[in-house]
Chains A and B, each alone.
Chain A
């Protein structure tokens, strides 16, 4: 540590690290357009996600949220606009590069997309087969058990996906996405269909992953509580455009009634709880 050589070598590296660490946006979407036949789903979407940031995307059902994140992983080809991941335009990258990119991105499908013909264990092992450094059998086992523990599914390890309940499937899908320890996570409705307690646990898990691995994430959700717990910033999509962006508190107190309406239930709920508590204490 005391070596003069090291001291001399340290300073020039620092600014670069800082640049990578803080200033670059890991995901940059500019003027994205996507339509199906004559149905314009996304008209002009521009979104940035910085390293370590979690962005929640809200919008009505059918607003094109799933289409948006499918464009990011190149499952759908945008009609216009650019998508830049880790500073590289994905449209310009070849097939090999895309496979490399896919190893760094985790994608949670809205419907789970579990492999029906594979057991829970095989489902979890599947993403590991593409890692650059192939894990040994024991390491694989450890990763699988760890992933299942995270979502509370250790008992189900040798079951088939068809034997799981809807919520368990959802959690398994989440575990399968997280097992790769990706740098970017795209969650399509991670908490939909789960009970409030599990929802909260999943939201905390997402937050934990983000804090532990500095993952950058986009969460698509209707669950305001999840957005509140896990996201740093929220974007609202309506009619194919980003209509609002800000932190939870900013949007909750927005001037726009439509924006506020997303938060109303939760606000009512909190109010009601406070009121009830007030009554209790009054008694």
Chain B
């Protein structure tokens, strides 16, 4: 009771601080600034021993295991649907034989990476955000610190590295499933053997199709891990902080994935 009275008095005495006129804009910039600082801290700590190899492997396994089915199914469906949808257009030009190659290029360059990244932003990003924020709320992060383990290294660095490694792996899986979906899509009307399909699809793929697309998936993974950890690690205490952290991890990570994609396309086109 005594504290309540004190608190009220305190509020009466102090005039309310004036907020900026655009709270959304202010929140955006302060968030972006803090995220950058968090990023700097990640780069500073990542090379310092001790390296938490076991935890890193465990997190990699969890991320891969958790998302593999979803990524595979989505990739398969996208490959199938893309093939079915593209066929009429190509048929108009009499270029149906280009179907595998065209689908392959779209999947490898864009659809595989972006679909995987967005799915993982939802699944991995929100998972990390929720897990870390609940660790924060229940004081597990503090407990780790007090027991002499650096929680930043043990929790944050391992998860970011795991996401950076696993999103590319998952993308490869997704691409493979999409190819298979596409193979079935081609075969719905027509009869193309597995080997013919793949030789048609893969011979048209160049180094510049594959390499930049592969590189950008590492950035997707890093961004997803980083944002999930940032939101979770700095969650406000209280149970509603967990939901908020998970939610805003998904939103921010998806947005950042698209921004990275846009930049990646711009940069790649410089070398084409």
Interface residues of A (CB under 8 A from B): 38-40, 62, 70, 73, 75, 99, 102-103, 105, 107, 109, 111-117, 126-127, 129-130, 180, 239
Chain B residue total in the interface (Cβ 8 A): 22
Residues on B with beta carbons closer than 8 Å to the beta carbon of A38: 10-11, 14
What mask results when residues 132 to 152 of chain B are scored 1 for a CB within 8 Å of chain A, else 0? 001100111011111111100
A98 to B149: give the CA distance in the assembly, Å: 11
Interface residues of B (CB under 8 A from A): 2-3, 6-7, 10-11, 14, 131, 134-135, 138-140, 142-150
A113 to B135: give the CA distance in the assembly, Å: 8
B209 to chain A, nearest CB (A): 40
On whether the beta carbons of A39 and B10 are closer than 8 Å, the reply is: yes
A107 to chain B, nearest CB (A): 4
Known A-B contacts A75-B142, A116-B138; the reply to A126 vs B149 at CB < 8 A is yes
Known A-B contacts A38-B10, A39-B3, A62-B3; the reply to A111 vs B138 at CB < 8 A is yes
**Which residue of the partner chain, among B7, B134, B145, B150, contacts A75 with CB atoms under 8 Å?**
B145
On whether the beta carbons of B146 and A116 are closer than 8 Å, the reply is: no
Residues on A with beta carbons closer than 8 Å to the beta carbon of B139: 109, 111, 113
Residues on B with beta carbons closer than 8 Å to the beta carbon of A99: 148, 150
Residues on B with beta carbons closer than 8 Å to the beta carbon of A75: 142, 145-146
A99 to chain B, nearest CB (A): 5
Residues on A with beta carbons closer than 8 Å to the beta carbon of B6: 39-40
Residues on A with beta carbons closer than 8 Å to the beta carbon of B145: 75, 102
Jot down 11 A-B pairs with beta carbons below 8 A, ordered by A: A39-B7, A62-B3, A70-B142, A102-B146, A103-B148, A107-B146, A113-B143, A115-B144, A116-B138, A126-B144, A130-B148
On whether the beta carbons of A107 and B143 are closer than 8 Å, the reply is: yes
A70 to B144: give the CA distance in the assembly, Å: 13
A224 to chain B, nearest CB (A): 22
Known A-B contacts A38-B14, A39-B3, A39-B7; the reply to A115 vs B146 at CB < 8 A is no
Residues on A with beta carbons closer than 8 Å to the beta carbon of B147: 102, 126-127, 130, 180
Q: Which residue of chain A is the closest to B2 with respect to CB atoms?
A: A239
On whether the beta carbons of B142 and A116 are closer than 8 Å, the reply is: no
On whether the beta carbons of B3 and A114 are closer than 8 Å, the reply is: no
Residues on A with beta carbons closer than 8 Å to the beta carbon of B10: 38-39
B13 to chain A, nearest CB (A): 8
On whether the beta carbons of A113 and B149 are closer than 8 Å, the reply is: no
Known A-B contacts A38-B10, A39-B3, A62-B3; the reply to A73 vs B146 at CB < 8 A is yes
Residues on A with beta carbons closer than 8 Å to the beta carbon of B138: 111-114, 116
With a 10 A CB-CB cut-off, give which of B7, B142, B148 has the most chain A CB atoms. Answer: B148
Q: Which residue of chain B is the closest to A126 with respect to CB atoms?
A: B147
Residues on B with beta carbons closer than 8 Å to the beta carbon of A109: 139, 142-143
A109 to B145: give the CA distance in the assembly, Å: 12
A98 to chain B, nearest CB (A): 9
Residues on B with beta carbons closer than 8 Å to the beta carbon of A40: 6
Residues on B with beta carbons closer than 8 Å to the beta carbon of A39: 3, 6-7, 10
B92 to chain A, nearest CB (A): 55
A75 to B142: give the CA distance in the assembly, Å: 7
